[in-house]
A and B are shown apart, each in its own frame.
Chain A
Amino acid sequence: MPCIRLLHTLARRLRAGARCVAAGLLLSVAGPALADEPGVVQINQAAVVASAAPAFPTNASLQTVRLPDEWADSRPQADGPVWYRLQFTLPATDASTLMAAYIDRVCNNAEVWLNGSIVFSGGRMGEPVTRNCYYPQLVTLPPALLNPQGNVLDIKVQGYALQHVASRQRAGGLSTVRIGPHAVLAAQHARQTFWNISLVQVISAMLVLLGIVMLGMGWQDRRNPYLGYFGLLAIGWAALSARLWWRQPPFDNATGEFLTCVGFGVLVGLAIQFLVRYAGLRSRKLEIGLLLQCVLVPATLALAGADRLYTMTSGWYLLLSAEVMAAVTLYLRVTWRKGLDGRAEFWPMAFMLMGVGVLVLVDLATQHQLVTLLPVHVLHFSMPLMFLAVGARQIQIFGRALQLAEASRNSLESRINEVTAEIERNFSQMAELRVEQVTEKERKRIAADLHDDLGAKLLTIVHTSESERISSLAREALEEMRLSVRGLTGKPMQVADALADWRAETVSRLSQANIEADWRSPTEDVNQQLSARAFVQTTRILREAVSNIIKHSGASHCKVRCSIGEHDFVLVVQDNGKGIPMELDGKLDRGHGMASMKHRAKQMQGQCLVESGPGYGTVIRLTLPL
Chain B
Amino acid sequence: MNKILLLEDLPEIRAWVKALVLQVFPQAQISEAARVHDALALISAERFEVALVDLGLPDGSGVDVVAALRESQPEAQSVVVTIHDDDDHLFPALQAGAFGYLLKEQPREHFVEQLQRISQGEPPLTPSIARRVIAYFAAQNKPQERPQNLPHVSLTDRENEVLLWVAKGFTLPEIGTQLNLSRHTIADYVKQIYRKLNVSSRAEAALEAQRLGLFRR
Contacts and interface: CB of A to CB of B under 8 A. Distances in A.
Interface of A: 448, 451-452, 455-456, 458-460, 462-464, 475, 478-479, 482, 486, 497, 499-504, 507-508, 511-512, 519, 523
A451 B16 contact: no
B105 A475 contact: yes
21 contacts: A451-B56, A451-B83, A451-B84, A455-B83, A458-B105, A459-B83, A459-B104, A460-B10, A462-B105, A463-B16, A475-B107, A482-B83, A497-B127, A497-B128, A500-B127, A501-B128, A501-B169, A503-B168, A507-B174, A511-B173, A523-B168
Q: Interface residues of B toward A: which range?
A: 20 to 34
B149 to A, nearest CB: 34
A452 B168 CA distance: 31
Contact of A464 (B12, B56, B104, B105): B12
Interface of B: 10, 12-13, 16, 56, 83-86, 104-105, 107, 110, 126-128, 131, 166-171, 173-174
Contacts of B168: 500, 503, 523
B105 A460 contact: no
Nearest to A494: B131
B195 to A, nearest CB: 22
Contact of A460 (B13, B86, B166, B170): B13
A299 B193 CA distance: 109
A500 B10 contact: no
A451 B105 CA distance: 12
Given A456-B10, A460-B13, A486-B86, A503 B170 contact: yes
Contacts of B56: 448, 451-452
Given A452-B56, A455-B83, A512-B110, 7 more contacts: A462-B105, A463-B12, A478-B105, A497-B127, A501-B126, A503-B127, A507-B170
A502 B168 CA distance: 10
Contacts of A500: 127, 131, 167-169
Nearest to A519: B169
A507 B171 contact: yes
Contacts of B12: 460, 463-464
Contact of B105 (A448, A479, A504): A479
Contacts of B85: 482
Contact of B169 (A448, A456, A503, A512): A503
Contacts of B128: 497, 501
A416 to B, nearest CB: 40
A503 B13 CA distance: 30
B16 A504 contact: no
- Leading 6 A-B pairs by shortest Cβ distance: A503-B169, A500-B169, A463-B16, A500-B127, A504-B169, A460-B12
Contacts of A508: 171
A497 to B, nearest CB: 6
Contact of A497 (B110, B131, B166): B131
A497 B167 CA distance: 8
Contacts of B171: 504, 507-508, 511
A517 B173 CA distance: 13
Contacts of A482: 83, 85
Contacts of A503: 127, 168-170
B174 A463 contact: no
Contacts of A456: 10, 13, 83
B103 to A, nearest CB: 9
Contacts of A452: 56
A542 to B, nearest CB: 12
Nearest to B107: A475
Contacts of B105: 458-459, 462, 475, 478-479
Contacts of A497: 127-128, 131, 167
Contacts of A499: 169
A461 to B, nearest CB: 9
A452 B61 CA distance: 13
Contacts of B83: 451, 455-456, 459, 478, 482
